[in-house]
Amino acid sequence: MGTFKIEGGHRLKGKIQPQGAKNEALQILCAVLLTPETVTINNIPDIVDVNKLISLLQKLGVKVNKLGKGSYSFQADEVDLNYLESDQFKIDGRGLRGSIMIVGPLLARFGKGYIPKPGGDKIGRRRLDTHFDGLIKLGAKFGYSKEEQFYGVEADKLKGTYMLLEEASVTGTANILMAAVLAEGQTTIYNAACEPYLQQLCKMLNRMGAKISGVGSNMLIIDGVDSLGGTEHRMLPDMIEIGSWIGLAAMTKSELTITNVSWNDLGLIPETFRKLGITVEKQGDDIHIPAHTDGYEIQNFIDGSILTISDAPWPGFTPDLLSIILVVATQARGSVLIHQKMFESRLFFVDKLIDMGAKIILCDPHRATVIGHDFQSTLKATTMTSPDIRAGVSLLIAALSAKGTSTIQNIEQIDRGYENIDERLRAIGAKIERI
Ligand SMILES: CC(=O)N[C@H]1[C@@H](OP(=O)(O)OP(=O)(O)OC[C@H]2O[C@@H](n3ccc(=O)[nH]c3=O)[C@H](O)[C@@H]2O)O[C@H](CO)[C@@H](O)[C@@H]1O
Ligand SMILES: C=C(OP(=O)(O)O)C(=O)O
């Protein structure tokens, strides 16, 4: 288990460039299975989850060539489906959440797709019903082994159809979409997830020869084609990293510039931090956060009632930034209710913040009230364990703002999604060591 040692209480300064988006990369990498031709992908983040998926693709027979930092070419012209039945696949497939998205492309192109219950954050139930309901509607036969927690779908030929998803699942939409592009006839996916990463996937698939319309909306219409060709694609910057750096700047009273953020793809993220009183300045395509030497004040609702920040499917506020919002609120002026609607075990990490001296009431597994200290009392350094990727980074931000030296264990969770985080933080003045 890796550990970070962090000496908190120092101001940071400088520029930080967000990595390519983790959750986009996981979708895009799975899409290379849809064609025997070469797909070149740029701005791939060098993070554990993505590297695990690349290695899984390699074991499936995909030819992977590293062209430079963050750039790879992939060619799935000799896919070895036997790997899907191996014991090794049962280990590899479990290693991350994103592996679930190999199922749709494999089913569409080769007539079968298998996956062990995928991993990812332990943040509450993470069901796969939407994925498999959609694939079944396209004509797949579904099987599940309860003992092995192993899922499988098979079909000779998929047939387009109309479907209304029960929930706007991000990976579910991507999976069904990647199956539908090679199905016979037209598929309509209503209540589709429509976040920028899915839009990116749609655009890439269209460049490969797919016929998808409604991109960016919650109704995707897909006219199936017989085959897809190669393309080149570039990943967007990671909006969850961008939000993490906004929170880091405010909480450590640091002046930071986050470069090339793709403002148009940030949705409600800048506005939500502004509601906490944080100045988020647009400078071209950069975000500038001035040093908040006098702190920041949470806004109330118009009628004076306490602000609530909650998650919702895109274009709502992403659940992946609520842990960051929560930690930043611990030093704000004022109070806020954080309502994590999607996941039921994502707020338990507040115990660690309470140990550090934060004023938080965990009302129930989904809701926490934070009463900010307005920097009148700094958080105290402590030893903690990172329970999941975003809670891990929130604790890291807390440790960087705290007085004294903290340690964070189980940093593998953070490495799952943040590239070289210690080195990048040191470059802006953080005192952080990997031990
Ligand atoms: C690899 C990847 O891309 N992971 C992201 C993806 O996970 P993932 O695709 O697994 O998440 P889903 O969108 O399927 O669902 C997330 C959770 O929200 C619930 N839900 C979802 C939609 C809805 O309308 N109502 C509802 O309650 C689901 O039951 C589930 O508990 O999307 C999540 C939601 O943005 C993010 O937290 C994850 O970081
Ligand atoms: C929950 C997350 O990731 P995953 O879906 O990979 O567990 C996340 O990125 O915050």
- Read off the pLDDT of residues 197-214 as tens digits, 9 standing for 90 and up: 999 999 999 999 999 999
Cβ–ligand 2 distance for 389 under 6 Å, the answer: yes
Mean pLDDT of the region 263-269: 98
pLDDT tens figures, 382-418: 999 999 999 999 999 999 999 999 999 999 999 999 9
Q: Which of 395, 424, 413 is nearest to 6 (CA)?
A: 395
Q: Specify whether the CB–CB gap between 388 and 123 falls below 8 A.
A: yes
Atom number of ligand 2 nearest to Cα 416: 6
The dihedral sign for the CA sequence 39, 45, 46, 51: negative
- Cα separation, 186 vs 212, in Å, equals 10
Distance of CA 92 from the midpoint of ligand 2 (Å): 17
Q: How far apart are the first and last CA of the chain?
A: 10
The pLDDT assigned to 325 comes to 98
ipTM rounded to 2 decimals: 0.98
Place of tokens 């120092």: 10
Distance of CA 119 from the midpoint of ligand 2 (Å): 10
Query: What six digits make up the tokens of 183?
Result: 């199905």
Q: Specify whether the CB–CB gap between 175 and 205 falls below 8 A.
A: no
Atom number of ligand 2 nearest to Cα 123: 1
Question: For residue 172, what pLDDT band results from cuts at 50, 70 and 90?
Answer: very high
Q: Specify whether the CB–CB gap between 330 and 402 falls below 8 A.
A: no
Q: Identify the burial level of 136 via C-beta atoms within 10 angstroms of its C-beta, where 0-12 means exposed, 13-18 middle and 19 or more buried.
A: middle
In a mutational test of the pocket of ligand 1, which residue from 170, 413, 416 has the highest number of ligand atoms less than 8 Å from its CB? 170
Question: In this model, does residue 119 exceed pLDDT 90?
Answer: no
Q: Specify whether the CB–CB gap between 197 and 27 falls below 8 A.
A: yes
What is the CATH number that goes with domain 3-19+237-434? 3.65.10.10
Check whether 206 is labelled as a binding-site residue. Answer: no
3-state DSSP helix/strand/coil % of the chain, to nearest 5: 35, 25, 40
Question: In this model, does residue 122 exceed pLDDT 80?
Answer: no
Range(s) of the chain covered by CATH 3.65.10.10: 3-19+237-434, 22-234
Q: Specify whether the CB–CB gap between 280 and 287 falls below 8 A.
A: yes
Cβ–ligand 1 distance for 428 under 6 Å, the answer: no
> Which CATH architecture group holds 22-234?
Alpha-beta prism (3.65)
**Its pTM surpasses 0.90:** yes
